[in-house]
Structure 1
Amino acid sequence: MRAGVLVLPDALVHAGSESETRSESRPDMRMMFLTHPIDAKSAISGILKDWDSLDWTVIEAGEERMDVRVILPETDSQKLVDALQARLAPFKNWRLDIVPLEASIGPKTEDADITTEKDKKHKPEQDPETALREEIYEDVATGAKINSTFLILTVLSAIVAALGMNANSVAVVIGAMVIAPLLGPLLAFSFASSIGDVELMGKASRTALAGLALGFATAFLVGLIAPIHLESPELISRTVVGLDSVVLALASGGAAALSVARGLPTTLVGVMVAVALLPPSAAVAMYLGAGEIGLSLRAGVLLATNIISVNIASMLVFALRGIRPRTWLERRSAKRSTQINLAVWGGLLLAITALIVIVLA
């Protein structure tokens, strides 16, 4: 273990040697604070000691509990977190807190950059650039909640999108996509499918359906009240369905899932997903409100194509990044869940693609 200075976002600092220092900074560096009962000391220490080149320190040891800080390894940190959770399962009153680490500064050691043969042969189960499963869960679970902010943004984005398309204003439509909260529930559903979390899957489904229904109703009212400009290119473009629509939606879903998996900001890819979902949804409702059933159905096909494609791409990305549950039984259930969802979504995509090629092309 190294003594040194650890700089956290909240300026938590431990003093160390000021001579010959080594500084390292990576956006994916994380520190874990582990609190566990004293009875689990030997079990936890055994795991930490067996982990090669792991930097960990006992911060405080009392009569009933121990506090330990661990700098998570660059590779396979998910495996370490899973091992600790499994060992702590029989105990009560334990907690794992993980925070981003901005920099690590400390004295140079001769073995700092030594890579052992064991390390070279070791193949991590999960891509080292992938965020921890628990971190991803916290991100996507927040987007699966129905609250006043979600409802208000849905209504406002639907109004702005409907009026912008009706006025053929690209800038206004883009503004609507920036505030649309559609990315959260879709990614939460895909992630829940990847780890077999039925509860999160149901919550995400309810949120997505509520958002689409509320946005649809809002745009429908706009179509009833405002005169619809059927010649508006922004509206007409949402009734044109082609294979490029499938590619766009697949790219949007894949980019969104990859950003979440790597712990990157999702603002821009959220706009990409909104491009695939918000304008077609508003177009369906507006045409229906104006009595244009045929145009509404064509926009509906585009919307369905985009929803299916986004889900397929995001599930594939989560699977390829090695995101899966901790226990073997949960992994088997998650694998079955992923296979069933991919089969259903894939079948629907093939059916709609055939419809596009044969009927609508």
Structure 2
Amino acid sequence: MSARLVQIYLPESHIVRVEDILPRHSRRFWRETIPGGQEKYSCIVQQRYTERLLDELETELGSVEGFLLTVQQLEAAFPTIEETAETELRLHTDLPPPNALERFFSRDRLSTDEINDDIDESLHIRPSYLLTVTLSAIIAGLGMNAGQVAVVIGAMIIAPLLGPTMGLALAATVGDNRLGLRAAATLAIGCIFALLSGWALGIAVEIDPLVSELRNRTLVQPADIALALACGAAGVLAFSRGASLSLVGVMIAVALVPPLAAAGMYFGAGYPQSGGAALFLFAINLVCVNVAGIAMFLFQGLPPKSWRMTGGILALWTGILVVLALMVAGRIALGVGA
């Protein structure tokens, strides 16, 4: 059952407002009085309604002193809550009800607040974050140099760049400048550490520049653009439904960590041209992941604060992708890096 248990604490003087809001989003809710002149409301909310309930409660009661709201995942409820187009809880607005396609793709999605909370913890630049980035790059680099795909996949499960990458796409989608700056700073520092780790590895370990796992990170083909777009879309889709972070990490890290580690190793071993080619692949992958991520977030119904801002950012990322794709086409036509 895709539902949440939402608990609301507020002063008794505001019960009329909350009892006006809850029936529009929940079929089951109950009230109890708690010490200190507070009232507690507990309600079962289907996942598809959680987003709009939280938004309306924040708008109406967010500034009320003593207001507190918590959300918990609900495993089961009996009797079950059946949801059909006929029994759908509609808002009292002039907006048209969602069509069947919108219902299908948004019904299991986490609310924006839940996604934000999942991402927020990974945006703190702590020693543990820098250490996991370093270890991930080293493991990926050693795995590529030895031609061992399983080792490279093991590095992906660490998934250090997952949170910042998702945070960048989410910030662009909902128009959160603060989140975007935090995500960009964390991602940039993580990328620098991954690059430096690969560089140190390239100095310390003898590498074979022609080993397939390394050389593949210097060859950019149209298929690589498609792969990065698919990684971004699949990663956001899984992440926004509460999938395992390791699973999402494999989707995202496969497009980001290996080329960074490979670039550092090539630079450290004295192959600057190959290192530059690996960085070019990383740039394409990063742009693709953000384009696909923003598009998938929008496709699932995350509400932008400003369509103009979100559309502008998506257009900018898409424009950069077009330029990079043209560069790939030019390299292929000239036989560069073949």
Specify if TM > 0.5.
yes
Provide the residue aligned with 1:319 in structure 2. 298
1:169 matched to 2:148? The reply is yes
Amino acid aligned to 2:233: G
**Structure 1 contact 253–309 (Cα < 8 Å) conserved:** yes
- Residue of structure 1 equivalent to 2:88: 119
Provide Cα deviations, 1:297-351, integer angstroms capped at 9, x if missing partner: 21111111101000100000111111125xxxxx22xx23322221221111111
Q: 1:117 to 1:226 in 2, by over 3 A?
A: closer
Question: Retained in 1: the 8 A contact 2:25–2:49?
Answer: no
Backbone CA RMSD of aligned residues: 2.2
Aligned mate of 2:234, from 255, 258, 261: 255
Look up the match of 1:282: 261
Q: Is 1:355 aligned with 2:334?
A: no
Aligned pairs (5 A) from 1:1-361: 26=1, 28-49=2-23, 51=24, 54-62=27-35, 64-106=37-79, 117=86, 119=88, 123-124=97-98, 127-324=106-303, 331-332=305-306, 335-360=307-332
Alpha-carbon distance in 1 for matches of 2:25, 2:186: 43
Question: CA 1:324–1:115 in 2, change beyond 3 Å: closer, same or farther?
Answer: closer
Q: Residue 119 of structure 1: SS of its match in structure 2?
A: coil
2:60 partner letter: R
Looking at structure 2, the residues matched to 74 and 282 of structure 1 have their Cα atoms a distance apart, in angstroms, of 39
Question: How far apart are 1:260 and its partner, in Å?
Answer: 1.9
Contact kept in structure 1, 2:158 and 2:249, CA below 8 Å: no
Cα distance, 1:62 vs structure 2: 5.0
Q: Cα 1:281–1:116, aligned 2, differ >3 Å: closer, same or farther?
A: closer
Shift in alpha-carbon separation, 1:74–1:220, aligned structure 2, 3 A: closer
Unaligned runs of 5+ in 2: 91-95, 334-338
Give, as a single letter, the amino acid of the residue that structure 2 aligns with 1:349: L
Q: Which runs of 5+ in 1 are unaligned?
A: 1-25, 326-330
Structure 1 residues 40 and 355: CA distance shift in structure 2, 3 A: same
- Contact 2:158/2:246 (8 A) holds in 1: no
1:130 aligned counterpart, secondary structure: coil
CA offset at residue 93 of structure 1?
1.2
Is the 1:256–1:269 Cα contact (8 Å) retained in structure 2? yes
Task: Give the aligned length.
Answer: 323
Tell me by how many angstroms 1:180 deviates.
Answer: 3.4
Give secondary structure in 1 for the equivalent of 2:124: coil
Residues 25 and 89 of structure 2 are in contact (CA less than 8 Å); yes or no, is this contact kept in structure 1? no
Displacement after TM superposition at 1:113 (Å)? 5.8
Q: TM-score, normalised by structure 2?
A: 0.89
Q: If the length of structure 1 is used for normalisation, what is the TM-score?
A: 0.84
Moved over 3 A (4+): 112-122
Q: 1:42 to 1:61 in 2, by over 3 A?
A: farther
Partners of 2:327 and 2:18 in 1: how far apart? 57
* SS of residue matched to 1:91: coil
